[in-house]
């Protein structure tokens, strides 16, 4: 029986450790983004994933608007990712191209139109990372006084997804006929008007883009709270998650896949890909040296900024840096990520200073420091023990870590027979082993025998 095949995502974001030797910018440099995409495609990665935020790093607000607090924050500027995906589609051939677009501060029609367009440009390689914004600072950039409540954000996200996918079904796959003899450009019976009227949105449709090549572009979801897991079970093709131990990952994997049946979905309809923040070296000591160098880079103010957003309305600077993390009020940003941070501090008895530096580096994900062989061991164990279908690889800077992964880890995964040597298909769905999304109206016609 063939072995299960690992899926891989390269996570691309403005690098926090931009001072490392050989580090190059990816925040505003398109040529560097092209290079990373080509490295990932050479390694036969499934996807290149761009995280996004519609606000400057919250470090700026920790000092009442003192921009000096922001001075070392490398993630304060970035290219708008949907525009970037369209450009990268022209210089890649197989690599999936995925970007975050929030349901909290966007409109369904525009999101449906943009991702459908990118799917056409890339010939079926687009993906939408559906998120409810974590960054409370985004609200004031969209005419809101405060960030929307967590529960309401997920309620809105459910309806947002329904509208977007309904718009993607506006046209059946063969509705655009362009018949020169009859002069008929479309087959009118294969055009469908959505006429959605809900609590959050009223959208008539139809979409003015033909149906995407994948049926639906890949939908990814990154929430790990209970509402996030429910949204993933109902909507997601891919789940990006942060699990820091095998036991936790197995429990998350079983929980999300166990929710899918009530939505008429198979467990094979979703790919779960925990994140790994990795530091590779030819030896354990070389990897550890690189890791320690990166931990020492951040100032206390810069490190504190990364955890402050998860502290509710409590100002972490009011407590001794070398003392324990105090009890935190509930966060309206990322509830699961806040719990993960608290658990880490309690489990390892970390001071606020130690926690801030560790969390700044990890971004809340599992941290691996060591050799390629040992990383492949861990990845194989998680795959075979139903803790993951693949992984999201988070490079601490670019391009060297990703180059090292492709040069050292990929060959080891192939040697074990758990990673591809060539792409299986032409679309991202095909390469992920996910089914084509049939148009809902075709399904209804088939059901009634029309």
Question: What's the pLDDT tens digit per position in 336-351?
Answer: 778 878 888 888 888 8
What's residue 66's pLDDT?
57
Question: Residue 148: which domain range?
Answer: 7-284+365-448
- Structural domains counted in the chain: 1
Whether residue 434 lies inside any domain: the answer is yes
What's residue 60's pLDDT?
45
Whether residue 297 lies inside any domain: the answer is no
The CA-atom distances, in angstroms, between 133 and each of 53, 196, 240, 362, 393 are 8, 24, 15, 20, 22
Rounded CA-CA distance 84/23 in Å is 21
What's residue 306's pLDDT?
72
Q: Which CATH number belongs to the domain containing residue 217 in this structure? A: 3.20.20.30
DSSP string of 417-437?
T-S-SS-S-SSHHHHHT----
Q: CA torsion, points 410, 413, 418, 423, in degrees to nearest 10? A: 20
Separation of CA 443 from chain center: 30
Q: pTM (2 decimals)?
A: 0.91
Query: Which residues of the chain have a pLDDT value below 50?
Result: 59-63
Whether residue 269 lies inside any domain: the answer is yes
What's residue 77's pLDDT?
83
Is residue 371 within 8 Å of residue 287, measured between CB atoms? yes
What's residue 300's pLDDT?
75
Is residue 352 within 8 Å of residue 322, measured between CB atoms? yes
Q: Which two tokens stand for residue 19?
A: 């001072």
């Amino acid at each position: 029986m063939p072995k299960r095949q690992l899926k891989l995502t390269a996570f691309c974001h403005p690098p926090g450790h931009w001072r490392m030797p050989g580090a190059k910018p990816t925040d505003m440099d398109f040529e560097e983004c092209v290079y990373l995409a080509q490295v990932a495609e050479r390694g036969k990665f499934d996807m290149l994933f761009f995280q996004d935020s519609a606000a400057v790093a919250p470090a700026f607000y920790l000092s009442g608007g003192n921009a000096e607090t922001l001075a070392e924050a490398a993630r304060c500027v970035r290219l708008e990712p949907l525009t970037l995906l369209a450009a990268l589609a022209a210089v890649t051939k197989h690599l999936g191209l995925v970007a975050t677009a929030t349901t909290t501060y966007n409109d369904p029609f525009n999101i449906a139109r943009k991702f459908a367009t990118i799917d056409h440009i890339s010939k079926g390689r687009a993906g939408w990372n559906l998120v409810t914004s974590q960054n409370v600072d985004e609200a004031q950039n969209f005419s809101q006084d405060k960030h929307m409540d967590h529960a309401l954000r997920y309620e809105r996200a459910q309806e947002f997804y329904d509208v977007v996918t309904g718009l993607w079904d506006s046209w059946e796959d063969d509705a655009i006929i362009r018949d020169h003899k009859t002069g008929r450009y479309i087959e009118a019976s294969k055009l469908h008007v959505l006429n959605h009227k809900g609590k959050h949105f009223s959208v008539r449709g139809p979409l003015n883009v033909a149906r995407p090549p994948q049926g639906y572009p890949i939908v990814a979801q990154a929430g790990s709270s209970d509402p996030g897991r429910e949204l993933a079970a109902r909507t997601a093709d891919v789940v990006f998650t942060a699990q820091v131990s095998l036991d936790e990952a197995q429990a998350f994997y079983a929980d999300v896949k166990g929710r899918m049946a009530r939505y008429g979905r198979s467990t094979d309809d979703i790919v779960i890909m925990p994140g790994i923040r990795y530091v590779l070296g030819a030896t354990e000591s070389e990897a550890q040296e690189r890791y320690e160098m990166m931990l020492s880079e951040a100032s206390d103010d810069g490190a504190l900024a990364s955890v402050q957003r998860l502290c509710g309305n409590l100002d972490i600077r009011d407590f001794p840096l070398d003392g324990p993390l105090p009890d935190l009020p509930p966060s309206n940003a990322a509830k699961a990520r806040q719990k993960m941070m608290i658990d880490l501090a309690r489990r390892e008895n970390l001071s606020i200073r130690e926690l801030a530096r560790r969390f700044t580096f990890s971004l809340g994900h599992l941290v691996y420091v060591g050799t390629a062989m040992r990383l492949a061991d861990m990845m194989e164990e998680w795959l075979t023990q139903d803790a993951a279908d693949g992984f999201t690889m988070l490079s601490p800077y670019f391009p060297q870590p990703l180059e090292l992964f492709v040069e050292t880890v990929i060959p080891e995964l192939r040697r074990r027979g758990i990673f591809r040597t060539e792409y299986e298909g032409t679309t991202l769905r095909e390469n992920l082993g996910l089914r084509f999304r049939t148009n809902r109206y075709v399904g209804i016609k088939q059901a009634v025998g029309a």
